[in-house]
Structures are given as structure tokens and as C-alpha cells.
Chains A and B, each alone.
Chain A
């Protein structure tokens, strides 16, 4: 027992020294790796939504744009147009989405087109606004997409047109309640 003692102590000393070195190593690895990378930016941002409305039978084109270049949380949106339409008219309408926070601006419309089976736009006028919106496009499963629509106006009126883009990955069912909301904008709309 007594003769063993010295050996035990020697063995015992090697171990903690080793562990201490290990700990010191961890510390230095923690501090050395100092060059922070600029974090990867999410490429999912939608900054700009534009409705282009071409009046049928004329060369009249009306556009309305929403633009928030720095996305949510930062500065307020820089542009949020009113939609001004003629009464009793028909407009062939296209919607485009862009990410203008990067240069060159990223076209998100084509992304939606490619994944049409997982996306749908909904156009909901408030009560009293004499506007109807009809889908002019279909995905591979014969469900509407809403990139191309036809807007028909009635008598002069004012209200809001809610434009909603739903991401319905694998669950698309032509219902606004399904899926996650990527866009939801209330365009002030005047038929005059």
C-alpha cells in the first residue's frame, strides 16, 4: 500500500496536466478563429410587388407598386401605390415579384412560375368595391395560380383590394386558409 503511493501520485499528475492543456487548447481555438464571415443572406426576401393592368381594347396601362427595399422591420416601405381604374372596364393583369435588396435585382415571379403547384395568389376586394378578379392561369393540377388575372370593374366605388400569396407546399387546395403567407397587401383601390 505504502510503496504504491508514489506511483499513484505520479500517474495522477500526468492526467490533470493533460486535461489542462486540452482546456487551454479549447480556449485558444475559441479566441483565435477571429475572422467573422458576413452571414449568408436569406435570398427569400420579397421587396417589390407590382400589378400591371392593361385595359382591354385600349392602350391604357395602369401599374401599382409596393416597395420596401430593406424588408420588414427596417425603414418603412418607400412606395405603396393606389390602384385607380375606370368604371365598367376589363383589365388583363399580371403580377410581378422582385427582390431589390440585392444587385442585380432577383426575379421571384419566375420562381413562383416554376413552383406553381405550391403557390397561389388570392385577390379579395373589400365589400362595396365594385371589382371582380378572375384567374387566367392554371397549374399542372388544374388549380389557379393567379400570376395572370382579369379584373372587371363595375360602378364607381372605393375600397381595398387584398393581394395574398400563399405558399402551400404539397397542400395546395384553392383555399386562402391553407399554408404560409408570403405576401399580404391591401391596395387602396378607386374605381372612378
Chain B
């Protein structure tokens, strides 16, 4: 049976529609039963509640908004049963003739907390790794921000910034190629190796952001050393009707405007078909510090996506296309190509170039375009499980325009980018979730990818082809209070580089093989306390820039090394979670990761003499490193209306070979706020809090110069703490927000104001690459308006 269905599924995938034709045309079994589960007392959605469809012995969990869906049901009488720890169970009879919605309100039960027996049912398993989820109001309160900034809400996630408009996530001290982004189920393949290359994803698409803070190499493949960010849009509508959302954001600093709109539709004529259109327009000008404007830090963005999905009987198909386009101005005073000029710029207390406010983006700037086309499908392999398949094509274009046009007037007139990269990726993944066997559920899958990189203009990374394939197997056992998860994966990668050196073409090839593994467990001590422990491994093959870069990168020389080996990470995460209904909720996790062959840039002496000056040189080098730390998030409800929230993250990063700290590690930080939500006015809140960031003192020690005879130490620039200048002092930022929902003729309109850096503090952040030149943004007030529209006449 299993084999037969698997075979049928494969046939279907190879475009031969055998399965669909065999479906009896008279069997109308595409009905959906859906609804929302809420807490009766506080009218809050209950995520992760279990609903069991008794007749089919099927169980699912509600999503973060408390929604549940059963698909592909035939007409008939069903019984659904809810189980949620701390609430009375509900059993309900449902007569299904057409798609139906049943909303359920659960009554809290604080006296008896029986164990829930859910073994043998299909349930989306909670991960054994530490995870952070941003959804609902937390997500809405950051609309208009870049993806990196949105992710900062999760404890343990900080950002690496380049000026006010470019930011990328750092998970437990690791970033760029070591953080894997999964955009709507597809590995984001952009130019993520660059510290100033922000993720090419529109955060307005997102309905749930999940940060997996572990070495999640088994399920997601290479690179997930620091963690994984799952960017997920809302599921398509599964009930007939049309809804839309309009998001408007205005920001005082940068005078930024952001407009977003989403339309969802499911037609009565063809209930199996749903679609969504989504678009974003965004434009901002020069940001302002408390004392001056940051010249040329404007940006503009226009993105859109379209999704169409078809769910029928035992299978479903979805086609998704998204386009991301951005132009990002780079702070003029920070674009420096010579060490003498660099030191001069660093010494200046204000940037050497400032300006008034302007929306105009001049050189230097980046122009980035990312297209994603995705086709995915699933087919229920009868009793045997479910087969899913994702096929995607990505086209990433990055053009970097230097500050100065070429000296040659003819070349200058072409106004070409000085660096231009195009990365095209075609990938496929096939995964089969097998039927629960006793208490065991699991997934087996394989994936493959073909990638091509091309450059024009200045050499920084070579042209290459990259072929990868992977095979993974994950199983989970759950019984009573215990859950155990184990998995393994094999990856193969072939990097085929086409290199021109002095016009001689060579084609060096690099192959990498790797096994990854994961082992984790969850133990529910009681209703309140859960412990989880996960040990995972992940690997990352050296990227093209680490192997091949050579030459000037801003005011330093960067040198690659072809002999670099793969990085291997081993990460252990222990998490304790405490959940009580109203008062105290919290999560504390400790992590320790050891990275063998960690690749980083190390200063090389003596500095390199070139026609344009004596440059500090950095070489990609390997060491064994460790990253360890703790994340804490706590919330406490003093009364029904008053609550406090605290979030803290600590990370230590250590270089074993040098016996010293690693550079550019996020400093200790604490984020805390008080929140007031009047019980009688739903959707209204006032929140006051602050962010406290310590000075980073865990930095590399200063080096002793080994001077060549006759060289004068005074004329030689020596790194300070492995950097041009030591880390900046710590800072405190006061933040507040205020929001409410008003009803205009029964149309709810959500309005909120958020103020950042309300004391207009001048400060610099250690992990902003422009901290050498300029302060961070000053006071910033953001207005957000969200209008959810519902056109369901029936």
C-alpha cells in the first residue's frame, strides 16, 4: 500500500496525472471544517490546543491565532474533541454537508490538571530546540520595519546593521551565512555572505515568524549553524469569501511612509481554489541623529507577491510568486577607499559629510532585486501518510554603486554599478511524513539544488556553479509526559568555480560531504513546567568570498583562502518553560555551541602596500570557537490589566586557538516594559519601557606589532580590540507605545503610536558597521494604522 501510493505520488510529480483521474468524480470529499479556539474568560486565542476528529482518528493543533482546520472531509456526522491543558475538554457533534466553521470557547479548569493522552494522533510537533515566535499583535507592532528589526523581538536575536536602513539578524552571536532563512518554505538564496547584505524578504508578507535557536542542520540542510528563521505567510483562505488588510505606517525619523495591502479570496463557485495578492510600497529619506542628518541614507522598496492554491480531496497544489526590489542609500561619509581617509573620518566627531533632509538616493547605493517562483504540492498517500513537494526558482540580483564614478568619462556616462552579482537557484525538495506507527511519527526527505553565480565589474567573488543534494530522516516518539526526537542527514555539495587570473581560465572544484544529526527531548513535569533538551549538529561549507575574495573591500584588503574546510557546529540547548494561566509565564534557555573550523577575518601583518596607500589586510582564517550564553523572557501579570515583560540575552564567543574573545559579538542586553490594557476596552494598550545595552567588554586583546626592521611603530596603524576603534559605551533607550481599536460604522481600525529613543539619546551600537563615522538615529515616532476588511456578505 505504502509503496503503491508512493509510486503513484511520484508519477503525479512527473506530470502524469494518474492519481487525479482515478479519483471518483462523484465523491465530493473536499469539505473543510475550521474554527477558532478561545479562552472563554479572556476571549484570547489558544494556540497549540489539540482537536481530535474522532471518526478519522486525526488530531491537529491550533495555530498561534487559535485557528484549526480539517481538510478533505466527506459529508457526514463527526465528533470533535478538544484537549488543552488547564481547560475543560469539549466534545461536539458536527453534521457536515458543506464547509463549516465551528468556533469553540474553552472554560479554564484550574483544579484538575490531568495528563493529556495524545499519542497516536497526527500533531504538528513542538520543536525540541529553543524557538521564538512572532505573530499577531507583536508582529503588527513592527510593521514597516525591516525583517532584521522585526526579529529583534525574540530573546537571543540581535541585529548587525549597516547604517539606519540595512540590518540582518544575529542568532546567539552568529549571522549572515550562518543563519538560514526559509522564505515560505524555500531556502533563501541571496548574497547573504556579505555583512552589509540585508535579507531580500518583505516582512509584510509574514504572518508568523519562527526563530529556531539551535543547530537545525538535519531538517533544513547546510548553513543552519546559528539557527533558522522561518518566514511564513498566513495560509490561504479555506472558507468562502474575501478579506483584505490595509497597513499604513508613517515614521517621523527618515519621514518614511510604508503602504501595504493584502487581499484573500475563496470563491463560492470553486471552493477548492483560493488566492492572495499582496503588495508593499516603502520610501524613506535621510535619517537623523540627535545632531545631524545622515547624508544619503534614504531607501525605497516595492514588493509584491501572488499566491494561488488548490486543495481538492487528497491533494493540494500551490503556486507562489514574489518579487522584492529595494534601493538602499549608503551613508556618504562611510564610503571610504583609503586608510588615511578612513582614520581621518573616524577621528572626526561628526561625519565629514552631512546634509539636510532629502529623499534623493545618490551614489553610493545598493540596488537589490529578488524573484521567487515556487510550486508546491502535497498528496495524502492514503493510510500511509503525506507526501509534500516544493520546487522553486530564485533570481537574485545585487548591484553596488560606488561613491565615485569611474575616472574615464565614457565609462562614467554608462553609470554602471561597480559590482554586480547575479545568483540563480533552482531547488527541489520531496518529503514524506509517514503514518503514525505506535507512538512514532516521522519524516523522510530529499532535496537538491543547482545554483549559478555571475559577476560583472569589480572582482570580489568568482563565477561559480554550486550543486547540492541532501537526504534526511527525522523520527519522533511521544508518550505521556515524554517526547523524544532523533534525526540524521547527509549532504553533498560540489562547488565548481570558473576563475580568470591574468586572463587564464581555471576551473577549481570543491566537494564537501557531511553527516548531521539531532537528538532532543521534551519532558512535561506538570501543567506549569516543561523541560527540553536538544543536541544538534550543522555544517557550513566555506562560501565563495571566504575561498576567493582578494582585494580592496572599503578601506581594507580582504584575502580568501582556498584551503578552508567546512565548519562543523555542535550545539546543546537546554530550556525550561513555565506557563501559568495568568500570572507568570517565562522561558529560560542555556546554550553552548562548539564550532570546529570557524571561519573569521583575522588581521594580517604587515599591512599591504598598494598604489592607493598602506592597507590593513584581513585573511579568512579558521579556528575552533565556542558560543555560549543564555536567553530569558518573562512576563508577569500583576492584575488583569497590568503586566510587565522582561527579555534578556547574553552571549560569550571565544576563539580557542588564540585563547581570546571573538570580535563583533553582541553585548549583554535587557529589554523591559510595563503594559496597561484596560479590561473594559479591548484592543487598547499603553506600554512604557526601555532597552539597556551594556558596553561590549568581551573583545579581542590588542596585538603586538611585529615590525620589520626600520619600520616606525608610530606611523603604523594598529587595530584596537581587533578593530579600528574600541567598542562604544553602553546605552539606554526609552520607548513607549499607545494603541487602540476604533470602530467606524462597524469597521474596526487599529491605530498605534510607538516612540523609539524618546530621550533623543546620542549613542553608537557596537554592531553597526557605521559606528566609526556616525551616531544612531535619534527620536523616532511611528504611526501605524491597520484596517482589516471583510467582504463576506453571507
Residues on A lying within 8 angstroms of B by beta carbon are 1-2, 5-6, 8-9, 12-13, 15-17, 19-21, 23, 26-27, 30-31, 36, 38-40, 42-44, 46-47, 49, 66, 68, 70-74, 76-77, 80, 108, 111-112, 114-115, 164, 167, 169, 177, 179-186
Contacts and interface: CB of A to CB of B under 8 A. Distances in A.
B95 to A, nearest CB: 18
Nearest to B405: A169
Contact of B611 (A8, A26, A31, A47): A47
Interface stretch (B64-72, B292-300, B550-558): B550-558
Given A26-B393, A167-B404, A169-B405, A39 B609 contact: no
Tell me whether chain A's interface is mostly helix, strand or loop, or mixed.
Answer: mixed
Contacts of A44: 406-408, 411
B254 to A, nearest CB: 25
B702 interface: no
Interface stretch (B45-53, B497-505, B683-691): B497-505
B450 A16 contact: no
Contacts of B500: 38-39
A39 B612 contact: no
Interface in B160-197: none
Interface stretch (B126-134, B245-253, B323-331, B454-462): B454-462
Interface of B: 15, 17, 20-21, 23, 25-26, 28, 270, 272, 310, 312, 317, 319, 337-338, 340-341, 344, 352, 373, 375, 377, 391, 393, 403-409, 411, 424, 426, 450, 452, 454-459, 463, 498, 500, 502-503, 505, 550-552, 557, 559, 608-615
A42 to B, nearest CB: 6
Q: Closest 3 A-B residue pairs measured CB to CB?
A: A181-B338, A184-B613, A72-B610
A39 B608 contact: no
A72 B338 contact: no
A72 B551 contact: yes
A40 B457 contact: yes
Nearest to A102: B503
A80 B406 CA distance: 26
B521 to A, nearest CB: 40
B366 to A, nearest CB: 18
A172 to B, nearest CB: 13
B458 A42 contact: yes
Contacts of A16: 15, 317, 375, 377
B552 A30 contact: no
Contact of B407 (A20, A40, A182): A182
Given A17-B15, A177-B344, 10 more contacts: A2-B26, A8-B270, A20-B391, A23-B373, A30-B426, A38-B500, A111-B408, A112-B407, A115-B407, A181-B337
Given A180-B338, A181-B340, A40 B456 contact: yes
Contacts of A70: 502
Contact of A73 (B403, B463, B505, B608): B608
15 contacts: A9-B20, A13-B17, A16-B377, A19-B375, A23-B426, A30-B426, A31-B450, A38-B505, A39-B463, A71-B611, A111-B407, A169-B405, A177-B344, A181-B337, A182-B407
Contacts of B612: 46, 72, 181-184
Nearest to B458: A42
A46 B337 CA distance: 14
A112 B458 CA distance: 21
A20 to B, nearest CB: 5
Contacts of B338: 180-181, 184
Nearest to A26: B393
A182 B403 CA distance: 13
A76 B450 contact: no
Given A73-B557, A115-B407, A183-B611, A36 B454 contact: yes
A180 B404 contact: yes
B17 to A, nearest CB: 5
Given A177-B344, A181-B338, A49 B611 contact: yes
Contacts of A71: 551, 610-611
B774 to A, nearest CB: 17
Contacts of B20: 9, 12-13
Contacts of A9: 20-21, 23, 25, 312
Contacts of B613: 181, 184-185
B552 A73 contact: yes
B15 A20 contact: yes
B411 A185 contact: no
A182 B338 CA distance: 8
Contact of A177 (B15, B352, B608): B352
A21 B377 CA distance: 15
Given A72-B615, A73-B608, A12 B312 contact: yes
Contacts of B319: 19
Nearest to A119: B407
Contacts of A26: 373, 393, 426
Contact of B450 (A2, A27, A73, A181): A27
A40 B404 CA distance: 19
Contact of A77 (B317, B403, B609): B609
A17 B17 contact: yes
Given A8-B270, A80-B609, A73 B25 contact: no
A181 B23 CA distance: 72
B30 to A, nearest CB: 9
Contacts of B340: 164, 181, 184
Nearest to B402: A180
Contacts of A17: 15, 17
Given A111-B408, A181-B340, A30 B28 contact: no
B312 A39 contact: no
Given A49-B611, A184-B338, A184-B612, A5 B28 contact: yes
A36 B608 contact: no
B204 to A, nearest CB: 25
Given A2-B26, A8-B272, A16-B377, A42 B452 contact: no
A80 B557 CA distance: 20
Contacts of B310: 12, 15
Contacts of B450: 27, 30-31
Nearest to A106: B408
A177 B338 CA distance: 12
A76 B406 CA distance: 25
B357 to A, nearest CB: 21
Nearest to A179: B404
B307 to A, nearest CB: 13
A115 B406 CA distance: 11
Contacts of B457: 39-40, 42
